[in-house]
């Protein structure tokens, strides 16, 4: 299925609303609920294609799951050893998180399973998970390091101590989930902090997880106790609106109940360093995760060298941040972000290509980009067409660019917006973006 956005130039963003539930937390809520003892009630669940893929997979593994209905999902946990052999391949769709975390979870099962994905996912690296899992005793086959992934049955895994070669929450989480099925302790050491939703949520399910500096440890064989999970709004989805409201004169938005986990708020720190006006209100806790309301108003941005320590904390927000950088005065330099090349698309190449098509001086580097901002101009982007290469975040980022364009922007290959933010177009339109789409 193909879909294009047509976005008329100009306008501003205003209003008060809540963007959909956090994708990372939604995936994990179903996974942990499924292997818990008892019934887990989830609210605020992301009804996007990625999280739905995870739900369908657990149904195929014999778990009863009711919903989603208005963000409510009920997972009837089967316990640590209660999953059943699936009848066929498990389809992760576009969802890298589903595939990598499931590799860990399924590696310790006594049945065989095969994970498949769409064209984009089928080109993404899985060795980063398969290799440490093999060191734990798992038997995993890939096609040259990519999906499909075949996981053969094993009696038991053994715990390892593994320094992650890259800052990846997916690899960390996969190993911790495998660690539940391993003898002894599993320790993962991070080169830089990455999102810690798995560790937090395991704690919420009653699993003892130890954090010592950069090391996270759990002991195998611990059972999970069902719990309630309130999924906050996804800061990664909020990011498009944070950038849109910042770059469009006259904007004033209030985004409610946004997840503020410190391993995810790099986008706020980077936008603020650039001069954004974002106020954090009503900070509170929901289901083991910090949340807040974010008020964002238009502001003049300046180019910066993005501090490398913020990169993993904002890794999914760079498509939107590149658009912000184009609207800043002066040069923005992003480095230490080579991981962007192995996301839903090569986000360095695809964003640079799109920005250049819209008249921006953007130079891709092996691990980032250099962007010469045009913030002194009212209209920053030339009219034109860009291709999202089936990457949801790229499509939504370029849609926001129209707020500062000289003429209409066409964003092609945008259907995958449904993976993380099915209501994006309607919500963005109601906030003031002049967006239409066509199939």
Interacting residues with ligand S3P (CB under 6 A):
24, 97, 168-170, 173, 195, 315-316, 339, 343
The smaller minimum CB distance to ligand S3P, of residues 202 and 380, is found at: 202
* Token pair for 315: 């890794």
Yes or no: say if 198 and 172 are a contact pair by the CB < 8 Å rule.
Answer: yes
Rounded least distance, CB 380 to ligand S3P, Å: 27
Rounded least distance, CB 383 to ligand S3P, Å: 31
Residues in contact with 17: Cβ distance below 8 Å, sequence separation at least 6, in sequence order: 254, 255, 256, 427, 430, 431
Residues in contact with 140: Cβ distance below 8 Å, sequence separation at least 6, in sequence order: 103, 107, 130, 133, 134, 149, 150, 151, 152
Q: How large is the angle between the packed helices 96-107 and 169-179, nearest 10 degrees?
A: 20
The smaller minimum CB distance to ligand S3P, of residues 177 and 402, is found at: 177
The smaller minimum CB distance to ligand S3P, of residues 169 and 415, is found at: 169
Rounded least distance, CB 46 to ligand S3P, Å: 11
The smaller minimum CB distance to ligand S3P, of residues 162 and 381, is found at: 162
The smaller minimum CB distance to ligand S3P, of residues 46 and 151, is found at: 46
Active-site residue among 91, 230, 293, 316?
316
Within 10 angstroms of residue 281's Cβ, the number of other Cβ atoms is: 10
Rounded least distance, CB 87 to ligand S3P, Å: 27
Q: How large is the angle between the packed helices 235-247 and 424-431, nearest 10 degrees?
A: 30
For residues 46 and 49, what is the distance between their CA atoms, to the nearest angstrom? 9
Phi-psi region of 70 (alpha: psi -120 to 50; beta: other; left: phi over 0): left
Rounded least distance, CB 12 to ligand S3P, Å: 29
Per the annotation, the verdict on 316 as an active-site residue is yes
- For the annotated catalytic residues, the residue numbers are 316
């Amino acid at each position: 299925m193909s879909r294009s956005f047509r976005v008329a130039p100009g306008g501003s963003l205003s209003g008060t609303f809540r963007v959909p539930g956090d994708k990372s937390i939604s995936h994990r809520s179903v996974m942990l609920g499924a292997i818990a003892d008892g019934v887990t009630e989830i609210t605020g669940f992301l009804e996007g294609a990625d999280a739905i893929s995870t739900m369908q997979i657990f149904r195929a593994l014999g778990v009863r799951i009711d919903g989603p209905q208005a963000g409510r999902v009920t997972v009837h946990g089967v316990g640590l050893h209660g999953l059943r052999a699936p009848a066929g391949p498990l389809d992760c769709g576009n969802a890298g998180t589903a595939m990598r975390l499931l590799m860990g979870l399924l590696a310790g099962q006594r049945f065989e399973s095969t994970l498949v994905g769409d064209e984009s996912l089928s080109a993404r690296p899985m060795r980063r998970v398969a290799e440490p899992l093999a060191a734990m005793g798992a038997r995993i086959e890939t096609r040259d390091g990519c999906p499909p992934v075949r996981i053969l049955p094993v009696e038991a895994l053994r715990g390892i101590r593994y320094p992650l070669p890259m800052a990846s929450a997916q690899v960390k989480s996969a190993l911790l989930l495998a660690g539940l099925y391993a003898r002894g302790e599993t320790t993962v050491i991070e080169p830089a902090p990455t999102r810690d939703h798995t560790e937090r949520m395991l704690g919420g399910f009653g699993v003892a997880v130890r954090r010592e500096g950069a090391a996270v440890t759990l002991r195998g064989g611990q059972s999970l106790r069902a719990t309630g999970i309130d999924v906050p709004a996804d800061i990664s989805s909020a990011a498009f609106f944070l950038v849109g409201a910042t770059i469009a004169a006259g904007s004033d938005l209030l985004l409610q109940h946004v997840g503020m986990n410190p391993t995810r708020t790099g986008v706020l720190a980077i936008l603020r360093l650039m001069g954004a006006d974002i106020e954090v209100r009503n900070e509170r806790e929901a289901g083991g995760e910090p949340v807040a309301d974010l008020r964002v108003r238009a502001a003049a941005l300046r180019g910066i060298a993005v501090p490398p320590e913020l990169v993993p904390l904002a890794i999914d927000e760079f498509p939107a941040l590149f658009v912000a950088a184009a609207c800043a005065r002066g040069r923005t330099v992003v480095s230490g972000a080579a991981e962007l090349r192995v996301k839903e698309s090569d986000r360095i190449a695809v964003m640079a290509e799109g920005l250049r098509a819209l008249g921006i001086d953007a130079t891709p580097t092996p691990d980032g980009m250099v962007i010469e901002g045009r913030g002194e101009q009212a209209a920053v982007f030339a009219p034109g067409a860009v291709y999202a290469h089936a990457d949801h975040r790229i499509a939504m980022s370029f849609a926001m660019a129209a707020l500062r364009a000289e003429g209409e922007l066409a964003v092609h290959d945008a259907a995958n917006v449904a993976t993380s933010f099915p209501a994006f177009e309607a919500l963005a339109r109601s906030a003031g973006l002049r967006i239409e789409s066509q199939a």
